[in-house]
Amino acid sequence: MFFELALTLATTLMTPGQPVQKQQPARNQTIYVKEAKEPCTGVAPMECLQIKGLKDTSWSNLFTNIEGFKYTPGYRYKLLVRVTTIKNPPADGSSIKYTLRKVLEKKKVNTTAAEKTTNTENGRLWAFITSKRWNLIKMGDSVLTQSGIWVEFDPATKRFHGKGGCNNISGGFNASGENISFTMPISTRMACMDENVMRREHEFLTMIGEHNFRYDVADQTLNLYDNNKLVLMFGMQPKENK
């Protein structure tokens, strides 16, 4: 079965007195992706793609993304993917990487049922997103440590607020399906001594200003994509009590 194969790829066997076996090579695999995600719990509550192999009879949660694959609710997919093990994966990350090779089939299913499921999923997802504070940990190709930039969302007012590293920031947002856009981001005008902090704050506000992104939540991160490229990643933390 597909997931037995994935487990084999993800696990390096060790026998007492025997040398560690070499890492399994990457290989192609054909999988199905269901038309609707389902609630699941990895490191944190999230929404998971449902996948199964050609010979599987039941769906299983996929706790990571399929690189290069743009999922649209309401469609069932048949995909050719590359399955690769990750050397020394992070403690809270997947040990398997999935990369799209080809979309073999894409079929639309019952629209009404799919839309109802999608609306329910989005409601649960945004209840989770709005219950957390999201710290910027990656912008473009740069991984950031203690960037000082964070945001919180209020779906009732469709507003976000946070810190840009130096100034308070705020603005509007609109989330529809798997897309999110930000409108009129503004900041206070406090001058900071660190020019790098000011530059990063300006770059962040410019990047999100009047722009549309695809988004998802995976493990403990909120991820924003531009043309299927990950451009912003936020790490999760509890909101501070006011």
Claim to verify: residue 105 and residue 150 sit in the same structural domain: no
Among the candidates 115, 144, 161, a domain finishes at 115
Claim to verify: residue 110 and residue 170 sit in the same structural domain: no
pLDDT at 148: 93
Claim to verify: residue 163 and residue 192 sit in the same structural domain: yes
In-domain check, residue 125? no
Chain centroid to Cα 204, Å, comes to 19
pLDDT at 5: 46
In-domain check, residue 18? no
Claim to verify: residue 100 and residue 60 sit in the same structural domain: yes
Claim to verify: residue 102 and residue 152 sit in the same structural domain: no
Strands (E), the chain: 27-33, 38-41, 45-53, 60-62, 66-67, 75-85, 96-108, 132-139, 142-143, 149-154, 159-164, 168-176, 179-187, 211-218, 221-226, 229-238
Q: Which two tokens stand for residue 187?
A: 């900041």
Residues 6 or more apart whose CB falls under 8 angstroms from that of 75 comprise 35, 106, 107, 108, 109
Claim to verify: residue 141 and residue 110 sit in the same structural domain: no
pLDDT at 225: 93
What CATH number is attached to the domain comprising 197?
Answer: 2.40.128.270
pLDDT at 11: 44
Decide: helix, strand or coil at residue 239. Answer: coil
> What's the CA gap between 134 and 68, in Å, rounded?
24
Regarding pTM above 0.75, the answer is no
> What's the CA gap between 200 and 206, in Å, rounded?
10
pLDDT at 98: 92
How far CA 232 is from CA of 137, 205, 222, in Å, comes to 8, 12, 8
Claim to verify: residue 158 and residue 183 sit in the same structural domain: yes
Claim to verify: residue 30 and residue 109 sit in the same structural domain: yes
The boundaries of the domain holding residue 80 are 2-8+23-115
> What's the CA gap between 217 and 56, in Å, rounded?
26
Amino acid identity of 162? G
Burial 144-163 (b: 16+ CB within 10 A, else e): beebbbbbbbeeeeeebebb
DSSP string, 100-142: EEEEEEEEE--HHHHHHHHHHHHHHHHHHHTTEEEEEEEETTE
The pLDDT profile of the chain, 242 residues, written as one tens digit per residue, is 544 445 444 444 444 444 544 566 888 999 999 988 887 776 666 788 899 998 887 788 888 889 999 999 889 999 999 999 887 766 666 778 899 999 999 998 875 555 555 565 667 788 889 999 999 999 999 999 889 999 999 988 989 999 999 999 999 998 887 889 998 889 998 878 888 999 999 999 999 987 889 998 887 899 999 988 999 999 999 887 65
Claim to verify: residue 137 and residue 227 sit in the same structural domain: yes
Claim to verify: residue 154 and residue 192 sit in the same structural domain: yes
In-domain check, residue 33? yes
pLDDT at 210: 77
In-domain check, residue 224? yes
In-domain check, residue 17? no
Question: Counting Cβ atoms within 10 Å, is residue 136 exposed (0-12), middle (13-18) or buried (19+)?
Answer: buried
Hey, how many other C-beta atoms are within 10 angstroms of the C-beta on 22?
7
In-domain check, residue 120? no
pLDDT at 23: 60
Claim to verify: residue 109 and residue 138 sit in the same structural domain: no
In-domain check, residue 227? yes
pLDDT at 155: 83
